[in-house]
Structures are given as C-alpha cells and as structure tokens.
C-alpha cells in the first residue's frame, strides 16, 4: 500500500467585536457588512486538523471529533474543490512545488478535533473551516490568499486565517473576490488585553447561525439600518481604538455592537433569543462594576449563544474573576472553575459586593476560559501529533 502524505495544522477561534450577521449572497457567503474580530490564543482554544492524501484511498472521508461525518456537505465541498482547483492551476502553470507528488486525482482523508465544545456558541465552525482550508492548502502546496476560500466554508472562518486583530472587508464584487480578511494589528500589539470566556452552557444552541441570519435578513428592518448606517462608522472607530490601545473606546464599541446584534435578533420575526437569564445577569454585573470603578474596566460580547466573552486588561482580571465566582458560585472548587491562563486570587471589598447588589446565581456559569489574543493557523511539525495513522485512519485515542 502507498504511504499517504500527511499534514497536520491548528487554527484559532475568533470573537467578533463588530459583528457579522446577515449575508447578501448565501452560496458565496458574502456579508451585508464588514466585521472585526480578535483571534484567541490556541493554547486555550483551537481546532487541530490532519489531512492525508493517498492513491490507495477509495474516496474522500471526514472524521469530526471522533465521529465519521458526511463529506458531501456543500460548504466543505466548495473548500475542497477550490483548493484542488488552485493546486491544478499551479501545476498547470509549471510551479515546481505543485508537482503531482500530492496526487491531484488522489482522495483525501480529513480528521479534525476541537479542544472545546462544538456548536455551543464558541465559534467552532470558524476555527474548523479555517483549519481545514489551511491544512488542505499545505497538503496540496497551495499558497496565497486563502481567507476567501475559508469564507466559503463559514463566513467568520476567513477571520481565523490571521492572528491578532482582524477585519473582514465585506467587498462589493458579485463574485466575492474582494470579500477577504486582513490583519489590522498582530497579537503582539496589545499584550495587556485579556479575554475571559464565561461558559454559561455547553448545549447546542436552539437556532443555528445560518438559519437565524437568513430570517433576520428577510424580516428585520433594524438589521438593514445597522449594515448601512451604523457598522461602517463603527469599523473606523474600532480600528482606531485598537491601534491606539484605547480600552474604554474599544470596550464601549464592543458592548454596543453586541447589544445591537442581539437587538436585530429580537427584531427578527419570529424573534430569536440567544441570551439567557445568566447572560443578562453578566451584562448587569459588567455595567455595575464599571460604574463602581468610575471607569470602563470590563466589556462583554455575546455571539449566537449565551456564553459571555469578557474583554479586560491584565491588571483587572483577578478582581473581576473573583466577582464572577461570587455572583455565580460554582458547583466545584476554584481550580476546576478557571481553565487556561492562571488567575491570581483577589479579595473583594464588602462595599463592592453590596454596591453590585445582584442576587447570586449558583452554577450559572460552568467554567471560565482565561486567554488572550493569539496567532493565526500553524503547521504542527511533530508527526506524533497527527490525528491519522500511517494508513490514513483515525488513531485510537487512549
């Protein structure tokens, strides 16, 4: 049997601070507005994908989080098709690196795992499709602008092709060639920025983003106003806030944009509710804490699900985490409750607890992931990290 050629890569999750909601073209996944995100560090949240190519494979196959899935999924097929097309084009153009050693006619086996709950509003499709496209590109020797291909898998995946602070430019062309992602600043730009993911639930969300968006575009007049009149200005302001590392401006824009996105969900007919009562308590907690401090120290952002993503600066992390633990007392002891970057202990002044005055919600938050901005996709050099064996089948995990 022919030994397959095997490549493994990892890709990050990104969290939009200026939200993408609504497509102007469903097939090409072209958005009705531009968006801006922060790429989260892969030490805490990542997708790992292995691609194996071999002449002895009978068909293309896909395994996701340990389970074989249907590879005929339309969006997956567009990514595969596009990478194979570019590889053929390179070969045709006589590029030495695109020799037939990758076997353009050969079948692929793809195996992918997330180190976080899938479909719980943690941008798993963004990391997944970014990782798929990046790994396929490495396997087939394709270089150049890949974010437009990742976009055809999942819109927000185009932003996971870069690290740091990334904008997805909506573009205006019919064919979507100018709807691509671009790095605004690298992850090293704002080292003090910290991100806390407050996981309110790991259940699947009641309404997936794709169908939710479609209904919003068809029925929400607020959504159209947002795309035309609000987002363009916010994009300019947000890029400026990031470049200047102006946290209060960044925080205010982030919260306002999150709230407007959820307002468009409510303006959708019938309405969509992604925020839970716990989400609303977190919103109150953030505003009351900022008011108590007399300055904006913390911001929240919610995607299509109840989990809160908190942005703050390193020096404020211990006190805010302590506050979360106080008002959402965990089921378990402290160590398990905080995953990721270590958080120092802090004492809460009684006055602060009284001032916030919320009713505690026991077990309202399952756990916190403590992280920061991180790099874009990476090739994994260690062959022992491959998810597929030398035969191109998923390795048995212990």
The domain locations on the chain are: 5-189+378-385, 193-372
CB of 320 closer than 8 Å to CB of 293: no
CATH (residue range 193-372) = 3.30.70.890
pLDDT tens digits, one per residue of 280-338: 999 999 999 999 999 999 999 999 989 999 999 999 999 999 999 999 999 866 568 99
pLDDT tens digits, one per residue of 268-278: 999 999 999 99
- The DSSP string of 148-213 is HHHHTT-GGGGGGGSSSEEEE-----TT-TT--EEEEE-GGG-TTEEEEEEES--SPPSS-HHHHH
Q: Which fold has domain 5-189+378-385?
A: Ribosomal Protein S5; domain 2 (3.30.230)
What is the total residue count of the chain?
398
User: For position 336, what pLDDT does the model report?
Assistant: 85
pLDDT tens digits, one per residue of 72-84: 999 999 999 999 9
User: For position 209, what pLDDT does the model report?
Assistant: 83
Across 231-240, 332-341, 360-369, least confident range: 332-341
Q: Which residue has the higher pLDDT, 128 or 99?
A: 128
**What percent of the chain lies above the pLDDT cut of 90?**
85
User: For position 119, what pLDDT does the model report?
Assistant: 46
- The mean of the pLDDT values for the chain is 93
User: For position 317, what pLDDT does the model report?
Assistant: 98
Would the pTM of this model clear 0.75, i.e. be above it? yes
Mean pLDDT along residues 223-250: 98
What is the C-alpha separation between 326 and 322, in angstroms, rounded?
6
pLDDT tens digits, one per residue of 145-180: 999 999 999 999 999 999 999 999 999 999 999 999
Question: CA geometry: angle at 193 spanning 292 and 287, to 5°?
Answer: 25
């Amino acid at each position: 049997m022919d030994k397959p050629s095997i490549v493994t890569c990892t890709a990050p999750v990104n969290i939009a601070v200026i939200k993408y909601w609504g497509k102007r073209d469903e097939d090409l996944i072209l958005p009705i507005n531009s968006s801006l995100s922060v790429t989260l560090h892969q030490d805490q949240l990542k997708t790992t994908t292995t691609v194996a190519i071999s002449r002895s494979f009978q068909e293309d196959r896909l395994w996701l989080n340990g389970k074989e899935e249907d590879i005929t999924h339309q969006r997956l097929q567009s990514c595969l098709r596009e990478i194979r097309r570019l590889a053929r084009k390179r070969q045709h153009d006589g590029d030495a690196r695109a020799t037939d050693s990758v076997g353009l006619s050969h079948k692929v086996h793809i195996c992918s795992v997330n180190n976080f709950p899938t479909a719980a509003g943690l941008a798993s499709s963004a990391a997944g499709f970014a990782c798929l496209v990046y790994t396929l590109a490495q396997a087939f020797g394709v270089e150049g602008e890949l974010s437009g291909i990742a976009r055809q898998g999942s819109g927000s995946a185009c932003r996971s092709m870069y690290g740091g602070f990334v904008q997805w430019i909506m573009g205006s062309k019919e064919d979507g060639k100018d709807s691509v992602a671009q790095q605004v600043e690298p992850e090293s730009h704002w080292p003090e920025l910290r991100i806390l993911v407050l996981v309110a639930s790991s259940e699947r969300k009641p309404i997936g983003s794709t169908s939710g968006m479609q209904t919003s575009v068809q029925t929400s007049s607020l959504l159209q106003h947002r795309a035309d009149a609000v987002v363009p200005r916010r994009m300019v302001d947000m890029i400026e806030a990031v470049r200047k590392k102006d946290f209060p401006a960044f925080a205010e824009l982030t919260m306002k944009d999150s709230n407007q996105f959820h307002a468009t969900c409510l303006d959708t007919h019938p309405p969509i509710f992604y925020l839970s009562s716990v989400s609303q308590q977190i919103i109150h907690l953030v505003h009351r804490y900022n008011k108590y401090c007399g300055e904006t120290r913390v911001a929240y952002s919610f995607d299509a699900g109840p989990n809160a993503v908190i942005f703050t600066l390193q020096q404020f992390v211990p006190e805010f985490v302590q506050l979360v633990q106080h008002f959402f007392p965990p089921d378990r002891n402290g160590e398990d409750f905080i995953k990721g970057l270590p958080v120092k202990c802090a004492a809460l002044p009684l006055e602060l607890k009284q001032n916030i005055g919320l009713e505690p919600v026991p077990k309202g938050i399952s756990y916190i992931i403590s992280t920061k901005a991180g790099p874009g996709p990476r090739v994994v050099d260690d062959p022992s990290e491959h998810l597929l064996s030398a035969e191109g089948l998923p390795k048995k995990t212990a």
